[in-house]
Amino acid sequence: MDVERESPAVDGRRRLRELPSVDRLATTLARTVLAQRREELLAGENGEADLLARAADLLEPSLRPVVNATGVILHTNLGRAPLAPSARAAVQRVAGGYSNLEYDAVTGERGSRRTHVESLLCELTGAEAAMAVNNCAGAVTLAAAALAGGRELIVSRGQLIEIGGSFRIPEVVAQAGARLVEVGTTNRTRLGDYRGAIGASTGAILRAHPSNFRTLGFVEQVEIEELCELPVPVIDDVGSGVLADGIELLADEPPVRRSVRAGAALVCFSGDKLLGGPQAGLIVGRAEHVERAARHPLSRALRIDKLSLAALEATLALYRDPDLAAREIPALAMLLARRAELDARAREIARETGGEVIEVTSRVGGGALPLTDLKGPAVSVDPGPGGAHAAAAKLRAHDPPVVVLIRDGRLLLDPRTLGDAEARTAALAVRETLGRPGEGDPATGAGG
């Protein structure tokens, strides 16, 4: 028997009736704001407070989009890599209902979430097996626990690094239940150092890529091919996740395929850095070792969610066509942006804000390519009598917030991380918050 559906008009009226009344909504907000203010007054805070502004803030979601005018492509505080259109669409498809996350529609039995990206990862890297967890720190911890838990893990002293958030390799080793064995020195570690440390209790060797710094001068390290000739499994943390071939700017980052070809047991890398996808930690390598990681109890605690999996699968699919990936994945497109495009966008922002186009050097961010200088234009804006920090605060309070750099007492807007629509939004924010006339405004004498 067919179920009669409501017409759009009837459904719309029903939804309107379900909205809370003005009195009820206002009362709820008022109670919350007044309770906060009472606590402040009782604690001795007697300064002025804008309770209406607080009430308005309560209606805003905490996590919301911002306009990144800093020129830092992989800005960790701003969510790192923006997603490609196909990845955003994939998230929307999966978010709207149920999915086959852990369900095999052919057999009707329970499935594995590994299957949604494993074949793609193997195709793109040449690995025998693969899996994804929630971030790269989790991937390294899981790999160390699976291959060296309760045993020794050998690490070069030059790779006992700390990355963002006070995440230190010695602490990772300890949390994985392994015993750290240090070899070599800070600047020089040789193959013989590793060979001499291998014993009956050795579980694996860990090679950690120093993602956010480089050691220069009198240095020596062992390449992955040499390490993989030793008689113990090698875990290679390559950091940023370079899958794109033939991009000169990425030459200083270790490619995933090289480590797989060398024979690393497990290769760990990020999904949300140079790969340009969602936050994820990817593990590829030999089937027996990936299976050990997948069966380890930590794998459940570190597992990736369905929305990230959807975005990751769509992002990885773009790498089947390298030219398409370079165009569609925002992080790569920003990295490879043509100078003429950046110049044109900078000139437009300058016209709209009364700013001046200058030459700047930007960084990739996210701990990737720390020695790479991204030269290009930026728009320098006079912040006005209140100063640069006050002007930047006003821009952050804009809707949407606009995040800029402060350099030499002026505001900088870098077009590298701004699309055309975002550039217009940033320029409008400057005009609205700082009172700057644009080219077409009467105060400029133009456009009339």
Encode pLDDT of 355-388 as tens digits.
Answer: 999 999 888 887 777 667 899 999 999 999 999 9
Is residue 400 reached through a cis peptide bond, with omega within 30 degrees of 0 on the bond before it? yes
Question: Domain 67-77+332-444 has what CATH class?
Answer: alpha beta
Domain locations in the chain as residue ranges:
67-77+332-444, 85-320
Rounded to an integer, the average pLDDT of 120-138 is 96
Rounded CA separation 369/242 (Å):
11
Taking only the tens place, the pLDDT of each residue in 204-243 is: 999 998 766 667 677 788 999 999 999 999 999 998 878 8
DSSP secondary structure letter of residue 75? -
Q: Which amino acid is at 54?
A: R
User: What top-level class would CATH report for the domain 85-320?
Assistant: alpha beta
pTM of model > 0.75: yes
Q: Give the span between the Cα atoms of 47 and 32, in whole angstroms.
A: 19
| pLDDT attached to residue 314 | 98
**Which tokens go with 140?**
């390294």
67-77+332-444 and 85-320 share one fold:
no
Across 5-9, average pLDDT: 59
Q: Are 246 and 302 in contact (CB under 8 A)?
A: no
pLDDT in tens, 322-355: 999 999 999 999 999 999 999 999 999 999 999 9
- ∠ at Cα 442 (439, 446), nearest 5°? 45
Nearest to 239 by CA among 278, 261, 262, 267: 267
Instruction: Write out the two tokens for 88.
Output: 């955003």
Please, which residues bridge with residue 67 across strands?
Answer: 402
Residue 438 CB burial class (10 angstroms; 0-12, 13-18, ≥19): middle
Integer distance in angstroms from the first to the last C-alpha of the chain? 67
Residue 370 is classified by DSSP as T
Residue 186 has pLDDT above 70, yes or no: yes
User: Nearest 5°: phi and psi at 211?
Assistant: -60, -45
Neighbouring-strand partners of residue 377: 359
Quote the tokens at residue 178: 């392994």
Which pLDDT band holds residue 418 (cuts at 50, 70, 90)? very high
**Amino acid code (one letter) for 47:** G
Q: What is the pLDDT of residue 2?
A: 47
Phi, psi of 385 (to 5 degrees): -65, -25
The answer, yes or no, to whether the previous bond of 401 is cis (omega within 30 of 0) is: no
| Phi, psi of 381, deg, nearest 5 | -120, 130
pLDDT in tens, 279-321: 999 999 999 999 999 999 999 999 999 999 999 999 999 999 9
Residues 6+ apart with CB under 8 A from 328: 84, 85, 86, 318
User: Which amino acid is it at 371?
Assistant: L
Residue of 88, 80, 95 lying closest to 305 (CA atoms): 95
d(CA 87, CA 316): 9
